Chains A and B, each alone.
Chain A
Amino acid sequence: LNYNSNSKLLEVPGCSEDVEMNIQQINKLTQDLVAENNPNFTPQPHDDSTSMIKKLFESGLKNLQQQKMAEALKSINLAIEMAQRKRAPWEAFAVQLQELQFMLKNRVDLSLIQGKFMDGLQDLDFLQNTGLNSSDVFIRKTDALMKLKQYELARSEVERGLSLDPTNIKLKSLHIENSRRLAEYNG
């Protein structure tokens, strides 16, 4: 482990990818700490970055109202990039997670409306991986998978969705629709 004094970074030459990842995390943390000029910072989210993110997001929603989907998607992406960059690693995780999930949920709808099914699918995967198991995530995910012709995956998604929410009408109709597509897919 050696410390590069002018770039103020740690490095471990020739280490495994896990160690490399930990080193990057430490470097990121120290860089942000060094860059932080307010001495008594708190884990509460930085309010000016919050307002910036909010403004960008609002403009996205405005575009949405004006039916300008592409711009809406772009400004939501900007808002997310802003959150990714501006937020310091010590700002409350719960807040950052919620914020990111909220923005992604909107981004998913925008992607699906514009036919970017793979983008929507990966965002939905991310939401599921970070613990969001609500029925509408399953509905959107099943729909996206069907549009991508992955009927087997769609079936396991919709069945899981129904296991968690057996009475959901939308999921039921998707399940029937997907079974029909599957039968056709299998000749």
Chain B
Amino acid sequence: QSYDYDEGSETWPFFMLAVLCVILVPLTIMQLWEALAGGEKDRSSQHQQHVLGDLSERYTGNDVRTFRAKYAAKKSKWLAKRNLVIIAGWTIVAYLVQHIGSNDAIKDAATLLFDPYALLDISASSTDREIRSAYRKLSIKFHPDKLAKDLKPEERSVLEEQYVMITKAYKALTDEITRENYLKYGHPDGPQATSHGIALPKFLVDSSASLVMIVGYIALLGFILPFFVSRWWSKTQSMTKKGIHVKSASYFSDRLFNFKPSQVVTTQLMIRWISHSEEFKLMFPALAPNIFETLLHDHINRKHSGNLQTTKFRIVAKSHILLFGLLDIATTFRNLEISNAAIDTLKALVQAIPLSPYSQILQLPNVDAKRFVEGSVDDIRTLGKLFTYDDAKIGKILGIEDATQLQETLTVASNIPYLKLIRAEFKVPGESVITPLSTPHISLKVLVRSAKHKFFSPNMIPDEMCQDEQDFDSLRDPFASVSEQPKLPQSFAPYFPAKRSGCWCALVVLQKDGKVIQTPMLIDRLSFANLSQDFDKRTVKDLDKDFNPENWAVGTIKIPFSQPAPEEKGDYFFRVIIKSTEYFGPDLDFTVSMAVRE
């Protein structure tokens, strides 16, 4: 019953040391890694550097810049806090080590430990011969008969003691039984008296401090633990796996569930829906949804919102995740119209441009919208069409006088990544046809091209450039080859409060009933190498001479198919929609047929 606590406080320092090291060592390594590699991690991460990112930084307005600066600051403070913990931790460790070193109780306890190699002062890996010779040397020195006569009795006893130990050590290493004992119990004489105790320092358990302990325990178990657990639990409970608040998700589901065909789907409707999200209410409890709606519309129309400017930036930055949540729910309800509208709304918020036939043009910087819409002689609605004119004419059409600004606008326009479909087919890894009930995926070969590039027909890209390597691991996991492609670079979105690199959303629609059949797949890895090509449609005249397929990087997109191929043979048609979340224009919308054969 009477536990003997750690009288000489010889065990709890080790326990504390162990606990601290377990926490501190990985933390310190991580911290060092962040501090050293952290910088270049941002720089040299897979994001390919791209001219649009730099231009986007150049065109970012001051209020967005200050907003970003404020937001970014938070991160570094957090870093400091972690440093603090590390420094404190290591000082405690230092103190403990010093305490252990100085504490003699620990020292003599240490001598209790029987270590034959130390006694014979030979290395642990020495052979029997060395052990024997070492033993012989030492025993001659320490043998009682050999000891000098004039020793004092207590010296003599120490030496005799020493001799006994040496003999024991020798036996522990050579004689079978004692070695057996030593290996099993760590001591040749068999199991030693081991003292079991609680590694708690004495001062903690004697009567006076025990009250503090009890109170400590009650506080820990009664308040602190429940507090953290409940906070963690409410946090996890309140967020869906897509990262939006449960209440927002249920609101969106309710809107979709009660959606009437007589309602018209527009971006205004999407904005109204996300304005009722729980996130906004939590961020700004004092504001009503219609205020959020107005702010979002202000953002899209690039109107200043006065003192609600920061509020506007925060909800616009948040709307990104909300629209993805809404998109996910809309695809779960198989509603294509709302899925499309959600992505269009995201584009409108990213580019701060309302959805209109001229959005592709108006998303360019320095465009004088009024002059463009009135002035445009024949209907120019796409960048491709814009690039059929020469630069000067384009300047006039867009209403840009200043040459450098025009140059920058043209750079942006020619670097907006358009997708061109080269090959599209259903594929089952390792099969040449789609067999019934197999697990196909949609394999696309696309070319990232600029709007100024001359158009050429897809079959000018030879088949061998569109083959996937048929080696084993690509058969085992066909999606591995996609992740070798570089990540998308920072997008040109100077009005968006946060830096972003965007993605394409791939929707798969069943042509029979026009409904979405699976949740969207996000494409965030594609090489933009082709954009650096000139290949201007105004200069390139005949394709055969100037066109060389080798110069073009073919991108791969693989869309997993959510359900197995149908049972019976036949042709099934699916519509694949690949919509960019960043820019107006670079969307793909085509039909792929699945020919199910034996």
Contacts and interface: CB of A to CB of B under 8 A. Distances in A.
Direct contact of A and B (CB under 8 A): yes
B384 A160 contact: no
B135 to A, nearest CB: 92
B197 to A, nearest CB: 68
A152 interface: yes
Interface in B548-598: 571, 573, 575, 587, 589-591, 593
B30 to A, nearest CB: 49
A156 B589 contact: yes
B589 A160 contact: no
B258 A185 contact: no
Interface residues of A, number: 17
Interface stretch (B218-226, B314-322, B385-393, B475-483): B385-393
Contacts of A149: 357, 379
B357 to A, nearest CB: 8
Nearest to A162: B591
Interface residues of B, number: 27
A187 interface: yes
Contacts of B384: 186-187
A160 B575 contact: yes
A151 B577 CA distance: 15
Contacts of A152: 587, 589
A159 B591 contact: yes
Contacts of B382: 185-187
Nearest to A159: B591
A164 B512 contact: yes
A162 B591 CA distance: 10
A125 B269 CA distance: 20
A187 B575 contact: no
Contacts of A18: 258
A155 B514 CA distance: 14
Nearest to A16: B258
Nearest to B571: A166
DSSP majority for the A interface? helix
Contacts of A159: 511, 575, 590-591
B500 interface: no
Given A183-B455, A185-B381, A160 B388 contact: no
A163 interface: yes
A129 interface: yes
A185 B575 contact: no
B511 A160 contact: yes
A186 B258 contact: no
A156 B575 contact: yes
A187 B388 contact: yes
B261 interface: yes
B202 interface: no
B136 interface: no
Given A187-B382, A187-B388, 17 more contacts: A18-B258, A149-B357, A152-B587, A155-B589, A159-B511, A159-B590, A159-B591, A160-B511, A160-B575, A163-B511, A163-B512, A163-B575, A163-B593, A164-B511, A164-B512, A166-B571, A186-B385
Interface of A: 18, 21, 129, 149, 152, 155-156, 159-160, 162-164, 166, 183, 185-187
27 contacts: A129-B261, A149-B357, A152-B587, A156-B575, A156-B589, A159-B511, A159-B575, A159-B590, A159-B591, A160-B514, A160-B575, A160-B591, A163-B511, A163-B512, A163-B575, A163-B591, A164-B511, A164-B512, A166-B571, A183-B455, A185-B382, A186-B385, A187-B382, A187-B383, A187-B384, A187-B387, A187-B537
10 cross-chain pairs, A with B, having the tightest CB-CB distances, nearest first: A163-B573, A187-B385, A187-B384, A163-B511, A186-B384, A187-B388, A159-B591, A186-B382, A18-B258, A160-B511
